[in-house]
Amino acid sequence: MELIDGIKISNNKIAEIKKRIDEIKNSRGIVPSLMTILVGNNPASQIYIKLKMQACKRVGIKSFHINLDKNSSQKNIIALIKNLNNDSNIDGILLQLPLPKSNYTQKCINAICPSKDVDGLHPTNAGLLNLSKNWDEIIKKNILISCTPLGVIYLLKHSNIEIDGKIVVIIGRSNLVGKPLSMLLLANNATVIICHSKTKNLKEICKSAEILIVAIGKPKFINGDFIKDGATVIDVGINRVVSKLCGDVDFDAVKNMNIKITHVPGGVGPMTIAMLLENTLKAFNNRNM
């Protein structure tokens, strides 16, 4: 087994972002800014917000945070977002998910101005990604892309794992991970298969993968029976089991196989945060061009 080190790759990316922000600060006296919004007090979300704010501090992004009451109405959340859209001091807006009531999540996301949508979940940004012909076009157009899928692509590219022409199986079809990831992989010339809870013959399909990406949210669901010899395995899952984090892949069960693999923690998670910083800088640049 060869470990794909998300901490090392994200640290390099964060150092590069810091350098770019230092240059902006020195030449123009301004820095990018991010507003995070948390509705309620979900403990996991509180930890994610803390990590995101710490990362902002590391690179010199000004971060602000608003914590709304868990009973806040859709109307109140959208009113806050609209105020932030009009606030010229804010470059990026991140609405921490999940919301306490999921039935209006997309409506709240839709209220975020696409140019400040650092999570890349607004239909305009998702649509721009879907319409892109290739990776070069995605980069050139500075599209804001969902942080976790972008982090996975960055991880693969910086671990010297070829995507072009490869058979990639993604388990999970969420708007947050699976769907945008499939578009990014297509733009990088992979042959992409997306699986979900209704997929038949999951094991056999996964075994055909040269790159297997797992984003289902089921602790240690994937064992060696799903993995082809020589494959790359990217574990997106984050699950808390008896106060410890684990992925969707049973790491201990597969660690002696001839594979490249990420670990949870220390794999995709740090990349997601690095990509949030990248997106905030991108939003700043798009607004200040």
Locate tokens 């879907």: which residue?
Answer: 130
Q: Considering the complex, state which of residue 30 and residue 167 has its C-beta at the smaller distance from ligand NAP.
A: 167
Q: What's the angle, vertex CA 142, arms to CA 106 and CA 12, rounded to 5?
A: 100
Residue 104: C-alpha distances to residues 71, 110, 169 (Å): 13, 10, 30
Chain residues in the site for ligand NAP (CB under 6 A) = 148, 171-174, 176-178, 195-199, 202, 215-218, 236-239, 268-269, 272
The candidate with the shortest Cα–Cα distance to 35, out of 6, 76, 67, 8, is 67
The reply to whether 107 belongs to the active site is no
Choose the catalytic residue: 13, 52, 116, 228.
Answer: 52
Is 138 or 222 the residue whose CB approaches ligand NAP more closely?
222
Q: Residue type for 137, please? A: E
Min dist CB 237 to ligand NAP, Å, is 4
- Out of 119, 220, 235, 260, pick the active-site residue: 119
**241 vs 289 by CB, closer to ligand NAP:** 241
Quick one: 183 or 268, whose CB is closer to ligand NAP? 268
Residue 52 annotated as catalytic:
yes
Is residue 252 among the annotated active site residues? no
Q: Is 217 left (phi over 0), alpha (psi -120 to 50) or beta?
A: left
Closest CB 247 distance from ligand NAP, rounded Å: 8
Longest Cα–Cα distance in the chain: 57
Q: How far is the C-alpha of 270 from the C-alpha of 4, rounded, in Å?
A: 12
For the bound state, the minimum distance from the C-beta of residue 173 to ligand NAP, rounded and expressed in Å, comes to 4
Q: Which of 96, 117, 179, 282 is catalytic?
A: 96
Query: Of 80 and 94, which has the nearer Cβ to ligand NAP?
Result: 94
* Residues 63 and 33 sit within 8 Å (Cβ to Cβ): yes
Distance set, CA 183 to CA 173, 187, 221, 264 (Å): 11, 6, 25, 24
Kind of pairing between the strands at 244-246 and 239-241:
antiparallel
- H/E stretch holding 64: strand 62-68
Beta bridge mates, 65: 36
* CB 235 to ligand NAP: min, Å: 8
Peptide bond connecting 219 to the previous residue in cis, omega within 30 degrees of 0: no
* Smallest gap from residue 22 Cβ to ligand NAP (A): 26
Catalytically active residues, by annotation: 52, 96, 119
